[in-house]
Amino acid sequence: MKNFLSNFLLGATSQQKKTKYPGPVIMISRECGCSAKRIAIKLSKILSGYSYHSETKTDVEWRWVSKEIIEEAAQELEMDPGRVKNVFLSEAKMNLHEVTTAFSTDKVYDAEDQQVIDTVRNVILRIAEVGNFIIVGRAAGSIARDISHKLSIKLQAPLDWRINRIMQISNMSKDEAQEYVLEIDRQRDLFVEHVNGQKMNNNDFDLIFNYATMQDDYIVDAIINIMKNKGIIINNENES
């Protein structure tokens, strides 16, 4: 299972025709406390039932990925995944960014760091172009914004709700849960800013859901219906 993404991308890229439209792909961004994983798992199962490859007469499986992107980039760079992740999340890098941006909007990286960033971006783009993937996080919504058959989604909720939810699913106190939520949000924002070159805003998303007021099934149903209406997946109900 560890190398499934490498093997899949290698095979899919070699078979992919130039005339094929990139995608389809779903990108899900989420605030800490909003379970994008549960949404991605449900979507992958339902969408696999809608996918049918007319050329090979076979069903096409939808998969979801998140940390596998870092692992794939690390494998291509022959680097430890922790080193790849550290490029985006290290306190030293953030402090350097704060100093340099006081004088310029340009970001400063050493050559190795820039290679890591470029590789992660390329992995995300390849996944999006191959299609039939749900990408959780990793600034994918902005990186793959030009993919025609795509849907970019954000899951958000009020801070107090997210803190309470983390308290419910863990043994953390309120102060610990708040510190955890804010730190995870900070790390994700920092990752996005490094990979994307800028922070993401609501204009980068096609759909935004309030996870505090929407059940998983409602969110999944809404996504499926919008994908049907946009022609990203075939509406089997309209077939004869």
Q: What percent of the chain shows pLDDT beyond 90?
A: 39
Between 61 and 92, where is the model more confident?
A: 61
Neighbours of 225 (CB within 10 A): 11
Between 170 and 94, where is the model more confident?
A: 170
Q: Residue 93 above 60 pLDDT?
A: no
User: How would residue 86 be classed by pLDDT, with cut points 50, 70 and 90?
Assistant: confident
pLDDT at 95: 41
Please tell me the total count of domains within the chain. 1
Residue 29, in any domain of the structure: yes
Q: Residue 20 above 70 pLDDT?
A: no
Residue 12, in any domain of the structure: no
Which domain range does residue 71 map to? 22-230
Residue 5, in any domain of the structure: no
pLDDT at 44: 93
CATH of the domain at 214: 3.40.50.300
Residue 173, in any domain of the structure: yes
Q: Residue 62 above 70 pLDDT?
A: yes
Residue 17, in any domain of the structure: no
Residue 10, in any domain of the structure: no
Residue 168, in any domain of the structure: yes
Residue 207, in any domain of the structure: yes
